[in-house]
Structure 1
Amino acid sequence: MVSSGQLAPATDACPAPTSTGIRSLTLGDLGPDPAWRRPVLIEADHLILVTGGHGTLEVDFRPLPCRPGTMLRLRPGQAVRRTDALDAVVLRWGAVALHGLDVDPDTVPTHTQLVGEDEEAVINEVSQLVVDCRRQRGPAGESLLRLQLAVLLLRLTLTGAPVNGTDSRTFRRLCRDVEHHYRYTRRVEDYADRLGCSVRTLTRACLAVTGRSAKQVIDERVALQARRMLAATDEPIARIGRYLGFPEPTNFGRFFSREVGLSPGAFRATGGRVAAPARITRPRPPHWTDRA
């Protein structure tokens, strides 16, 4: 076991991923461009534990303050950019890593500053995972890594402050449905039909949790995906619009300008380095509590 409060040193070479995709990395491994001139779209689930430096890490165009003990939870598809010199341990896992285990990674806070006993316990578990990613192989090693990851995620879940209630549960259900269908419909009525509730129920839940309507939550998710693709890829703007359900480029341009305040071309020209409108956020379960 790694000694209390000390993080296992990172190796020069990244260990080979296990069949479940559990792997230890560094921040530099996330971006092919050392200068991080544009954000990178994350393709798998990640945890980032900052071990050195002070500054920010940009996640979905939102600068998050970081210092030793900061833990970030990244989800597939998010846009990430390092804006300051930070050292961090990164854990990555594949979709099957938690299969059959009673743990929901969506309950892990997106951004939390660990302190005291929480920080010590998390550092110990991350350190052991880093060591075992290098050492353990075979079915028994795979099972060990999966269980260690599950314990770590459960511990991080407990650092948050869950918000319960009917509105919170409804909002979380909507967020999950939006993630699967935002490309195909922005109509609140369609989501209400699938979830078996009324438009009024969805709107009330969104207003209670976010202060915004269900329609705003859905549109913000579409706008966020547009921003990700414009800033992190070279896809033509018209193709991005079609991907997001806008057959006509002019309609996409009007929608994006309304939501973001810039045309798609102007936003791309900035490299995504413009301040996000205050009301644009990624829909998320209400108990993903940020602790700074």
Structure 2
Amino acid sequence: MQRARIHDIECMAPEGPVPGFQIGPLEELRGRVPEGILERFNRVDFHTVTLITEGRGEHTVDFVTYDCVPGTLLWVRPGQVQRFGPRGELKGTHLRFAPAFPPPFPGSESLLAPWHRHVFHEAGDLKAGDLKAGGLSLAALTREYARLEPSREILRHLLTAVLLDLDRLPRRPSESRDCNDTYASFCSALEASYTTDHRVDQYAARLGYTVRTLTRACQSATGRTAKQVIDDRIALQAQRLLAHTEQPVSTIARALGFGETTNFSKFFARMTGVVPGDFRVLHGRGVPA
């Protein structure tokens, strides 16, 4: 698959005194990125965790727009596309880390997985930059990172505590589902093969489950059937590529396993309600079909 052209957001990459890790004020990030870049859909290959401490605004992740107020915490994972709201409306702490930066810990494979897409958390009351709910603290990470010679290992273990605490924050009722082991295995297989394998029976055979077992696991975790989960993943990637790359629709169709562009266009319209070209216009990318 042709590598998608990423918008000019290399300055967001987590580089600094500790490779693969960076933490600082959200407004500092705003100051480094040319105006207009963050307000367009972009994609990064690392995790970002943002705690809003001042202001009110919006942040869009994978085409879902979240209302942000003090106490909002957003976790955007590698591969997701995001769009920042207007400048100057939100302040807070912005953490960036590479997928391999945290040390292994129980549950890390699932928690850090690209398919684990819980983004929005209502973190609770704020005090001195810390979250009272769950004891989550980005301040400890900030203090260690600000030292003259910050310790990579201390940062890695502090980050582990933060991520585990984040994972136990209350979720919205629509997200309170059972992320069972069968569903996790299915999602991992899906991430590796959704561009070529579109049928549930292909995943069932590979994982050693029946189609019925996979469907029950998906319904328990998401309320969707296994086939719907597959279609959702393909449609999401199509939206991502249409919104943040200039690849022709025909190229995207082939990359996602569709032999004919017309079949892809029908699938996309069924899943999103608009054809690919109109979707691009809606998101400001009028490029060749």
TM-score calculated relative to the size of structure 2: 0.78
Secondary structure at 2:23 match in 1: strand
The count of aligned residue pairs is 258
CA deviations over 1:115-169 (Å, ceiling 9, x no partner): 248823778731221232232547xx1111101111111111222479786x833
- Counterparts of 1:164 and 1:257, CA distance in 2: 28
Q: Does 1:54 align with 2:56?
A: yes
**Structure 1 equivalent of residue 20 of structure 2:** 21
- Counterparts of 1:92 and 1:205, CA distance in 2: 32
Q: What letter corresponds to residue 152 of structure 1 in structure 2?
A: V
Query: Measured at CA, do residues 179 and 156 of structure 1 come closer, stay the same or move farther in structure 2, by a change above 3 Å?
Result: same
Q: CA deviation at 1:68?
A: 0.9
Q: How does 1:245-284 map to 2 (within 5 A)?
A: 245-271=257-283
Q: Does 1:156 align with 2:156?
A: no
Percent pairwise identity = 36
Q: Does 1:189 align with 2:201?
A: yes
Instruction: Judge which range, 240-249 or 214-223, deviates more.
Output: 240-249
- Counterparts of 1:164 and 1:53, CA distance in 2: 31
Aligned counterpart for 1:242 among listed residues 254, 257, 262: 254
**Structure 2 equivalent of residue 8 of structure 1:** none
Q: What letter corresponds to residue 115 of structure 1 in structure 2?
A: G
Q: Does 1:144 align with 2:146?
A: no
Query: Measured at CA, do residues 114 and 250 of structure 1 come closer, stay the same or move farther in structure 2, by a change above 3 Å?
Result: same
Query: Measured at CA, do residues 29 and 111 of structure 1 come closer, stay the same or move farther in structure 2, by a change above 3 Å?
Result: farther
**Structure 2 equivalent of residue 38 of structure 1:** 40
**Structure 2 equivalent of residue 72 of structure 1:** 74
Contact 2:195 2:255 (8 Å CA) reproduced: yes
- Counterparts of 2:249 and 2:23, CA distance in 1: 35
Aligned counterpart for 2:212 among listed residues 184, 195, 200: 200
Contact 1:15 1:134 (8 Å CA) reproduced: no
Contact 2:14 2:97 (8 Å CA) reproduced: no
CA deviations over 1:82-138 (Å, ceiling 9, x no partner): 235322321111122123344527448531111248823778731221232232547
- Counterparts of 1:74 and 1:200, CA distance in 2: 32
Query: Measured at CA, do residues 253 and 247 of structure 1 come closer, stay the same or move farther in structure 2, by a change above 3 Å?
Result: same
Contact 1:105 1:153 (8 Å CA) reproduced: no
Query: Measured at CA, do residues 92 and 206 of structure 1 come closer, stay the same or move farther in structure 2, by a change above 3 Å?
Result: same
**Structure 2 equivalent of residue 98 of structure 1:** 102
Q: For structure 1, which runs of at least 5 residues remain unmatched after alignment?
A: 1-12, 274-292
- Counterparts of 1:106 and 1:232, CA distance in 2: 26
- Counterparts of 1:86 and 1:123, CA distance in 2: 23
Q: CA deviation at 1:40?
A: 1.0
Q: CA deviation at 1:32?
A: 5.0
- Counterparts of 2:149 and 2:105, CA distance in 1: 20
- Counterparts of 1:128 and 1:46, CA distance in 2: 17
Contact 1:45 1:92 (8 Å CA) reproduced: yes
Contact 1:50 1:70 (8 Å CA) reproduced: yes
Instruction: Judge which range, 246-255 or 55-64, deviates more.
Output: 246-255
TM-score calculated relative to the size of structure 1: 0.77
**Structure 2 equivalent of residue 115 of structure 1:** 124
- Counterparts of 2:73 and 2:237, CA distance in 1: 24
CA deviations over 1:176-214 (Å, ceiling 9, x no partner): 221121112111011111221000111122223322211
**Structure 2 equivalent of residue 289 of structure 1:** none
Secondary structure at 1:92 match in 2: strand
Secondary structure at 2:250 match in 1: helix
Q: For structure 2, which runs of at least 5 residues remain unmatched after alignment?
A: 1-11, 113-117
**Structure 2 equivalent of residue 87 of structure 1:** 91
Contact 2:194 2:234 (8 Å CA) reproduced: yes
- Counterparts of 2:43 and 2:85, CA distance in 1: 15
